[in-house]
Homo-oligomer: A and B are copies of this chain.
Amino acid sequence: MTIKPQPELLKFLYSLNPSAEADLETMAQHLVVKAFKSGEVMIEQGETTDKCYFILKGMVRKFAVDADGNETTYGFYNEMQSVVVYYQNDNPKPSPYSYVCIEDTLSIVGDPESALAVASACPELMSMSKVVLDRTIDEVQDTLASYIKMTPEQRVKHVADTRPELLTRVPQHQLASYLGITPESLSRIKKRLGLTASEKPKGK
């Protein structure tokens, strides 16, 4: 469902550009916002897509099923994060991952064509989108660093410090998969770190 500019969208544009004299309402009109229901597929493994998404509200899980039928969770995207699938016009490749909403989700949708139109109509939006991409790279790099350097227990602590919402808003067996540990290990580590008391995960 494509919907009209929302408070969430204006809030986001403002957060990127608080000092701007630009007319945020006009900017917002150049952007397409889509609402997804919990359970809805954003991108399916094997699909080629030129779309990218920026989450205004909600939670999206990234996962893949391998040749043996085993599912691994590779990431979670929520407020102010982007789902970017690299798209080559001349050589589109199927997405190795599925992206599925695990909460009702509100997202900006972009594609190369609309980006070009936006760029000429509203050049300021282009440099703002570069900020978003830079931040995305920064986040993924920091996550990667946590896998290179940290023990599983340190990684759980890192998630609790930097993305506490993952302890309460996502199914914990999927969080365990993402952390590369068993659900039992995750449960033990959370207990050791005192993270279990009030933060009861939703069983989804």
Q: How many residues from A make CB contacts under 8 Å with B?
A: 42
Minimum Cβ distance to chain B for residue A185 (Å): 14
Residue-wise, chain A 1-29 has the 8 Å CB interface mask toward B (1 for contact) of: 00000000000000000000000000000
Q: What residues of chain B lie closer than 8 Å to A86, measured between beta carbons?
A: 134-135, 137-138
Q: Determine if A38 is an interface residue (Cβ-Cβ < 8 Å).
A: no
**Complex alpha-carbon distance, A147 and B131, angstroms:** 26
28 contacts between A and B (CB under 8 A): A52-B134, A64-B145, A72-B148, A72-B149, A73-B148, A74-B141, A74-B149, A75-B141, A84-B138, A87-B134, A96-B142, A96-B145, A115-B127, A116-B127, A120-B123, A123-B123, A126-B126, A129-B130, A133-B133, A133-B137, A136-B137, A140-B144, A144-B144, A144-B147, A147-B147, A147-B180, A148-B178, A148-B180
